[in-house]
Structure 1
Amino acid sequence: MTPRPVIGISTHVLEAAWGRWDTIRTVLLGERYPAVVQAAGGLAVLLPPDAAEHAADAVARIDALVIAGGSDIDPARYGAARHPETVASEPERDAWETALLRAALDAGLPVLGICRGMQLLNVVCGGTLLQHLPDVVGHLGHVGAADTYGRHPVRPVPGTLVGGLLPEAWVDVPTFHHQAVDRLGEGLSVSAWAEDGTVEAVEGAGFTIGVQWHPEQGDDLRLMTALVRTAAARAAAVPG
Structure 2
Amino acid sequence: MNEPLIGITTRVIEASGLGAVPKGIDGAHLWGVFADYCEAVSAAGGVPVMLPRSVDPTVIVTRLDGLLLSGGEDVDPIRYGMEPVPQSTHHDQARDEFEFQLVAAAIECGVPILAICRGCQVVNVARGGTLIQHLAEVDGFSHAETDEHRSMRRHSVAVATESMLRAALGTDVDSEGNAAVNSYHHQAIA
- Residue number in structure 1 paired with 2:127: 125
Q: Secondary structure at the match of 1:21?
A: coil
When residues 99 and 29 of structure 1 are mapped into structure 2, their CA distance, relative to the original with a 3 A threshold, is same
CA deviation after TM superposition for structure 1 residue 89, in Å: 2.5
Deviation string 1:94-139 (CA, Å, 9 cap, x unpaired) is 0000100111111111110000000111111111100001111212
The CA RMSD over aligned residues, in Å, is 2.0
Q: Counterpart of 2:157 in structure 1: which amino acid?
A: V
Distance 2:82 2:128 in 1: 13
Moved over 3 A (4+): 141-144, 157-168
Distance 1:166 1:145 in 2: 27
Deviation string 1:149-208 (CA, Å, 9 cap, x unpaired) is 4522111234554355447411112222110011xxxxxxxxxxxxxxxxxxxxxxxxxx
**Is the CA contact (8 Å cut-off) linking 1:150 and 1:175 kept in structure 2?**
no
Report matched runs for 1:35-50 at 5 Å: 35-50=39-54
Gaps of 5+ in 1: 183-240
Q: Per chain length, whose mean CA-contact separation is higher, i.e. which structure has more relative contact order (CA < 8 Å, sep 6+)?
A: 1
When residues 133 and 149 of structure 1 are mapped into structure 2, their CA distance, relative to the original with a 3 A threshold, is farther
Which of the residues 4, 29, 32 maps onto 2:33?
29
Report matched runs for 1:93-112 at 5 Å: 93-112=95-114
Q: Counterpart of 1:7 in structure 2: which amino acid?
A: I
Distance 1:112 1:144 in 2: 27
Gaps of 5+ in 2: none
- Residue number in structure 1 paired with 2:12: 13
Q: Secondary structure at the match of 2:182?
A: strand
**Is the CA contact (8 Å cut-off) linking 1:141 and 1:150 kept in structure 2?**
no
Larger radius of gyration: 2
Distance 1:5 1:95 in 2: 25
Pairing 1:181–2:184 present: no
- Counting matched residue pairs gives 179
The TM-score normalised by the length of structure 2 is: 0.85
Q: Secondary structure at the match of 2:156?
A: strand
**Is the CA contact (8 Å cut-off) linking 2:5 and 2:47 kept in structure 1?**
yes
**Is the CA contact (8 Å cut-off) linking 1:150 and 1:176 kept in structure 2?**
no
Distance 1:21 1:129 in 2: 36
Distance 1:38 1:143 in 2: 31
- Residue number in structure 1 paired with 2:158: 155
When residues 68 and 162 of structure 1 are mapped into structure 2, their CA distance, relative to the original with a 3 A threshold, is same
Distance 1:55 1:139 in 2: 37
When residues 58 and 99 of structure 1 are mapped into structure 2, their CA distance, relative to the original with a 3 A threshold, is same
The TM-score normalised by the length of structure 1 is: 0.68
